[in-house]
A and B are shown apart, each in its own frame.
Chain A
Amino acid sequence: MSKTEAGARKGASSRPQKSGPRGRLARSNDRAYFLMAIPALLVYALFYLYPTLTNLRYAFSEWDGLQEAKFIGFKNFTRSLTNDDTFYKVLGNNIEFTGLVVIFQTALSLLFAIFLLKNTRASVALRTLYFFPTILSSVSVAMVWQFLYEPNLGPLNVFLNSIGLDFLALNWLGSETITLRAVAFTQVWFHTGQMMVVYIAGLQQIPQELYEAAEVDGATRWQQFKSVTWPMALPTTAVVMAYTTIQSFRAFDLIYAMTQGGPNNSSSILVTLIYLTAFNEYRFGYAATQSIYLIVFILVLTAIQRRLLRTRY
């Protein structure tokens, strides 16, 4: 008897045997479950697995998107790491953008949620107002903020100049040092209302007794926040941070409509760089490589987040 056959028999004997009507039912249920999963599996394979694997193939190629791809080994990967200042610049932008958005969006949405927690008329009205930007399309938001940020005619600078704060009237979308931050602010404005709603739902789950007990113990508002609200809101914070991180990686439409990644790539993040490399320069192979690095970047970030949150709980 061969080793394989022996192994197969051993495996078969160790499995619990199903016999009789109940066993037949279980087997037919298994088959039904499997069949039911097939459509989803096909969709997943066709729209996710196949493009991902194809992307992997193109990452090792030189391809202009229209003609035959040419295999070039690891050349694209080494080029990104050793001979592409733009890639590093954009990676740095991505870290800064994600950092700014995650910190400010999380903090502001928590702040708004705390202030608007009670279901009074004014709170409900303000919640609606803060939530409003979320329902707008990102291109509309980009157009509005492009207008607001316009350095010479834009309302923001006109206002700052009129109240004597000329030194604050900056070249919001034309300066390489400011543009990324200006776009990050727009992203925060765009999505804070949405995260505020998530926080409100989370904060409303905190038992009122905990606050009453803290009050009896003489805790101030700040102490109540520090010792009750914040620890109890940590699971919601985890959700908000994870979601905000994803949103910041998907800010392509907002950035592209506002600045096209400019000036001089100063507001480009990895997704805009990938798009421009592929569709503006027709270097699809190199763009595929950049997207592999993006996946790696997201994996690393996710791992760090998971580790931090695990330590917290």
Chain B
Amino acid sequence: MITAGIDVGSVATKAVVLRDGELAGKALLRTGAEPRTVARRAYLSALTDAGLDECELPSVVTGYGRVTAQMGGRTVTEILSAARGAYAVAPHADGVIDLGGQDTKVIRLGPEGVVTDFAMNDKCAAGTGRFVELMGSALGTDLDGLGDLAAGATEAVRINSTCAVFAESEVVSLIARGVSRSEIAAGLFAAIASRVTALAAQVGEAGCYAFVGGGARSRALRSALEAALGKQMVVPAHPQYVVALGAALVASKD
């Protein structure tokens, strides 16, 4: 059976094609202001990537733009999709941490990957991909650059602000005080990890976490989270596509 899953996130739109439970094709585009068009384009590129001609596969749309972008098909939330996707790629994990552009979620899974509880950041951007992006630009770099900087740090400076806007001013004043960029970068990862840990505490500690979403590409973020949670995490091969994969799995169950 061949199905598709499309995850229309606040920053990136991801599409996957699933053939008999295996990832056959994938595509990633920036979402921008036209989620419907972008979702369609991502779907078509994933088809091409899977070596398929244009056709209408059974598909499920998820993510922030799911309602706008749905192509007449079914939609599910990114929480359910993340749970399904994580269970498929890391069946022994009973917790999922999804660090996306606008939302950060911690999901607890029961037997067979059933969602038993979840917590999300409130509407502020603290601890999300947006936060990383803003802080990166304050330090003149991006997620990877921040990771490289943090890797060279001997110490992490404490970032007190949880609000992205205030944290940016805090970073600017730390730079002005002559604190090294490495220490600031390490401090930023620790600050995000502490926000995620607070969410994890709400839903109760898991034995093993799968780390998914765009944030999971960062080795520095993973280390900071592992340190804060006191646990090793599983990062699947394509962490950004796990939510889209979950949606494709939902489509295959319909």
Q: Do A and B bind each other?
A: no
